Structure 1
Amino acid sequence: MKANRMEAFSDGVLAIIITIMVLEFKVPEGHNWEALIGLGPKLLSYIFSFVYVGIYWNNHHHLLHMVRTMNGRLMWLNLLLLFWLSLVPFTTAWMGESHFAATPTALYGLILLLAAFSYWLLQRTISNQHAGDSSFVVALGKDWKGKLSPLLYLVAALSAYVSPWISGCFFVLVAVIWFVPDQRIANALRER
């Protein structure tokens, strides 16, 4: 199997994840702008999750361009990442429905933490295929965003019990850090 098949499968799963999230919105009973106010928490949690899934989709796309040979380990690690991301719609809905209550917000942070860890494992496995390619290994070695993000997710999950809004600030911070796509892989490809 080639990496493009895994990428196409992953793209499909991520598209379904986004679709499931938007289907959680129910049409409001009223017929005016005020009827939408009740959807505020759901909309905010959807925006968080849409941005996160978009960030994973973008970086996953770049990462898979570095796969030299496909193997079972890569496929299972990719599935592990997709598993954690597939739980994002559930936690998004719960967080929005509960108006950012502590436990749903903490679980959201834990799911994002586990997705980040899974992405790191996938990245490490692909990096091991490039042991002799110093430009790629050096580029991934400077992964300050990848090292900082899990820590921020953990702090967000724990701080949900102090204030879910503090957690939200950490979620926004991680999204802002990653909003500009990671250029390390693109740069390494250009150098080769």
Structure 2
Amino acid sequence: MFKNSKSRLDAISDGIFAVVLTIMVLNIKVPESVSATSIHQLIKEIIIYLISVDVVSQYWFFHQEMFNSIKEVKSHLMILNMCFLTTVSLIPFATAWLNNNLFSKITVITFALILTSANFFQYLLFRLILIDSTQINKHDLEEKRSALIMLISSFGYLLIGGIYPPSLLILVILSLFIRSTVAFILRKV
């Protein structure tokens, strides 16, 4: 009688991604003056924003690819998807807090923990979709591998970012670059 709707799952997912991306840009504060300090703060906020948008954009991109092949939506997939989207929706909070306290260990660890949680749920989603799939191709396995790379990288965020907080953003940029490069190379092979 009751059936889960893929179109509604896609709609809520896209809606949450759109809201997350919008909220993050609203956290950039307009400088009250044109002083060196306020311009420096603005540049820092924009850099953190761009990195966070890149993270969320990659989540959205891989989410689209992940759900593209699904024909039937099972309840456990919907629940796991909402867990993933919930952690993604915390990224604007962590981004704003990081803007205010860039080198604080607790702030860096919180940001890293949120990314680790999102990467964990994304990896579980890939695994679940591949388990439920009747056809698994090379591209699907590459996507799962990319999700695993991000999950492993995020443990590095926690470890290294907790020891030396200024390294967090560099680690995030590096792992995004590695994930994109690996995906590009494997798609060409």
Following superposition, the deviation at residue 48 of structure 1 comes to 1.3
1:15 equivalent in structure 2: 18
2:148 equivalent in structure 1: 147
Closer, same or farther: CA 3–180 of 1 in aligned 2, 3 Å: farther
TM-score, normalised to structure 1, is 0.84
Closer, same or farther: CA 41–103 of 1 in aligned 2, 3 Å: farther
Following superposition, the deviation at residue 32 of structure 1 comes to 6.6
Answer whether contact 2:52 2:91 (CA < 8 A) is retained. Answer: yes
Answer whether contact 2:130 2:140 (CA < 8 A) is retained. Answer: no
Counterpart AA for 1:73: H
Structure-to-structure mapping, 1:1-192, within 5 angstroms? 1-31=4-34, 35-130=38-133, 132-135=134-137, 139-140=140-141, 143-179=144-180, 182=183
Following superposition, the deviation at residue 181 of structure 1 comes to 9.4
Following superposition, the deviation at residue 3 of structure 1 comes to 2.0
Answer whether contact 2:84 2:118 (CA < 8 A) is retained. Answer: yes
Answer whether contact 2:62 2:143 (CA < 8 A) is retained. Answer: no
Counterpart AA for 1:61: Q
Counterpart AA for 1:117: F
More helix by percentage: 2
Closer, same or farther: CA 182–11 of 1 in aligned 2, 3 Å: farther
TM-score, normalised to structure 2, is 0.85
Distance of 1:41 and 1:53 partners within structure 2: 18
Answer whether contact 1:43 1:96 (CA < 8 A) is retained. Answer: no
Distance of 2:112 and 2:69 partners within structure 1: 29
Distance of 2:33 and 2:20 partners within structure 1: 28
Answer whether contact 1:84 1:114 (CA < 8 A) is retained. Answer: yes
Counterpart AA for 1:68: K
Answer whether contact 2:130 2:136 (CA < 8 A) is retained. Answer: no
Distance of 1:57 and 1:109 partners within structure 2: 18
Following superposition, the deviation at residue 180 of structure 1 comes to 5.9
Please identify, of 106-115 and 32-41, the stretch whose mean Cα deviation from structure 2 is larger.
32-41
Closer, same or farther: CA 167–128 of 1 in aligned 2, 3 Å: same
Following superposition, the deviation at residue 35 of structure 1 comes to 3.5
Answer whether contact 1:55 1:178 (CA < 8 A) is retained. Answer: no
Counterpart AA for 2:124: L
Give 5+ residue unaligned stretches, structure 1: 188-192
Answer whether contact 1:155 1:167 (CA < 8 A) is retained. Answer: no
Closer, same or farther: CA 100–44 of 1 in aligned 2, 3 Å: farther
1:190 equivalent in structure 2: none
Identity of aligned residues (%): 27
